[in-house]
Amino acid sequence: MMIFLIIPVSCWWVTVASYIEQNTGTSGNGMFSDGFIGKAYSTGAIAAIFSPLLWGVVADRFVAAERIMAALQISAAVVLWQITGATSETAWWWLMLGYFFCFSPQLALANAVCFRHLEDLERTFPPIRAILTMSWVLGGWFVGYVAPLWFGHSVEATLWPLRFAIAFHVLAALACLVVPSTPPLAGGPTESQPVRGLRKFRFKSLKAVLGTELAIPVIAATLLAVSAQLYMNLAHVFLSDREVSGAVGHLSWGQVTEIGFVLLIPIALARMGFKWVLVFGSFCWFLRFVLLGFANDSLLWLYWPSILLHGICFSFTYLAIQIYAERVSPPESRASIQGVIVLLTSGVGALAGAQLTSVIQTKLMPSGQVYDWRGVWLTAAVLAAVPTVMMLFVRPVKKADGAAMKQDVASQLVVNKEGRNGIV
């Protein structure tokens, strides 16, 4: 099931920005207006705030999780089919919002299925989580590398990635029906961590984050999410504008490095400590944007190290912050605090980043004119520099041994994966 779960969205989530860009203003069919890229991507952030909690409650109380997943996969396929025939940006926006209300709960529900049936989660879940990441990679490789062999040319900036995703959603729905049955538990809701954490979110949970030593790293992570959204939304447009073939396949190599650095983070935390891991991870976000800012003409190759920095950027910031929260938070409030972190980074931060994308597209990427890519990426670099400095003021905590770190990483992988909008 896991291998099919992310492939559909990875087929088109990165490339759709290029389709929108090539049909904006007087270009293509002229369906979209300047700034619509950010508006389109805001739908994922909006859905991530509400949809997992809603469907998590349904799975906890009324319907087996795997049946909900199958129904939502089919619903997502139907919505994508409607998107391919939409003729206005208003229809696109509402249909994309509907799509992500179907897709966003998939990760939380899949986690609930795993928690119910797997034993020794610290040992058995990380490999499954790695399969989930590889499913994103496979979707990107299929569209970027395999599809051109089939068609004889790139289809990344067309509607074909959405059509591929429809087929993969049907396969994912069938896969959901063959996993072990996971009905609601008798006597009350299940205790799957992501759903439990989000359900317990209250004002006091927000205060528990912003009123403690967690405030600096969590606020910094939220700011990083803003600049990270710029990368998610515009990296493919940038490579396509530079006429890089197989762009979505190239971008997927970032997730390959992510797998490696997730395995290395216990060693890094044990040797460097949380503070310097967070500083280094935030600096790598800054560095990748600077590299993209100067990736032009003879230096175009700089986009490759920028892509390959993704593993460090993700593991040494978002995953490390959630492990840090697990270490410094009282046991009775850890789940709710993790829910707040997910809400702030994948909800508030991602939504702000999507809105900023709209502004940047209007100001620095007007249709029919030469795009100011250096301005785009150096703006993102400035946004990443602020949290990098903030991380210098994170309170150090006692270094733990490698075995303890591995257990912390395993326990937080599921939380972090749920918190990403498909996020690369």
Percent of the chain with pLDDT over 90: 35
Q: Is 298 exposed, middle or buried (0-12, 13-18, 19+ CB in 10 A)?
A: exposed
The span from the CA of 207 to the CA of 109, in Å, is: 28
CA of residue 99 relative to chain centroid, distance: 15
Q: What distance lies between CA 267 and its chain's CA centroid?
A: 24
Find out whether 169 and 77 touch, Cβ atoms under 8 Å: yes
Least confident of 77-81, 110-114, 401-405: 401-405
pLDDT value at residue 125: 57
For residue 190, pLDDT beyond 80 = no
Q: Is residue 112 part of a domain?
A: yes
pLDDT greater than 80 at residue 145: yes
Q: Does residue 187 form part of some domain?
A: no
Establish if 424 belongs to a structural domain: no
Band of the pLDDT at 165, cuts 50, 70, 90? very high
* Gap between the Cα atoms of 146 and 72, Å rounded: 27
Distance (Å, rounded) from C-alpha 39 to C-alpha 46?
A: 11
Higher pLDDT, 58 or 86: 86
Q: How far is CA 15 from CA 19, 233, 252, in A?
A: 7, 9, 12
Band (pLDDT 50/70/90 cuts) for residue 417 is: very low
- The kind and range of the H/E element at 385 are helix 373-391
CATH code of the domain in which 399 resides: 1.20.1250.20
Pick the residue with more confidence: 128 or 303?
A: 303
Give the pLDDT confidence of 220-265 residue by residue, as tens digits: 999 999 999 999 889 999 999 888 888 989 999 998 998 888 778 8
Specify if 146 maps to a domain: yes
DSSP annotation string for 135-170: HHHHHHHIIIIIHHHHHSS--TTSSHHHHHHHHHHH
**pLDDT attached to residue 214:** 81
Average pLDDT over residues 305-314: 92
Q: Label residue 127 exposed, middle or buried (CB < 10 Å: 0-12, 13-18, 19+).
A: exposed
Q: How far apart are CA 11 and CA 164, in angstroms?
A: 7
The rounded distance, in Å, linking the Cα atoms of 232 and 247 is 13
pLDDT score of 126: 59
Structural domains counted in the chain: 1
272 within some domain: yes
Q: Which of 28-32, 108-112, 126-130, 269-273 has the lowest mean pLDDT?
A: 126-130
pLDDT, residue 53, reads 67
- The total of other beta-carbon atoms located within 10 Å of residue 185's CB is 12
190 in a structural domain: no
Asked whether the beta carbons of 303 and 239 are under 8 A apart, the reply is yes
CA-to-CA distance for 176 and 83, rounded, in angstroms? Answer: 24
pLDDT exceeds cutoff 50 at 415: no
Residues facing 24 on adjacent strands: 32
Residue 189 lies in a domain: no
> 1-10, 310-319, 384-393 — which is least confidently predicted?
1-10
Among candidates 268, 200, 249, 257, which has minimal Cα distance to 57? Answer: 200
CA atoms within 13 A on the CB side of 207: 3
Average pLDDT over residues 50-74: 79
Rounded Cα–Cα distance for residues 4 and 169 (Å): 8
- The boundaries of the domain holding residue 134 are 2-182+195-419
Chain mean pLDDT for the chain: 81
Kindly state the tokens that stand for 304: 């490759």
Check if the beta carbon of residue 69 is closer than 8 Å to that of residue 106: yes
Please tell me the pTM assigned to this model.
Answer: 0.79
Q: What does the pLDDT read at residue 34?
A: 86
Burial of 404 (0-12, 13-18, 19+ CB in 10 A): middle
Q: Is residue 217 part of a domain?
A: yes
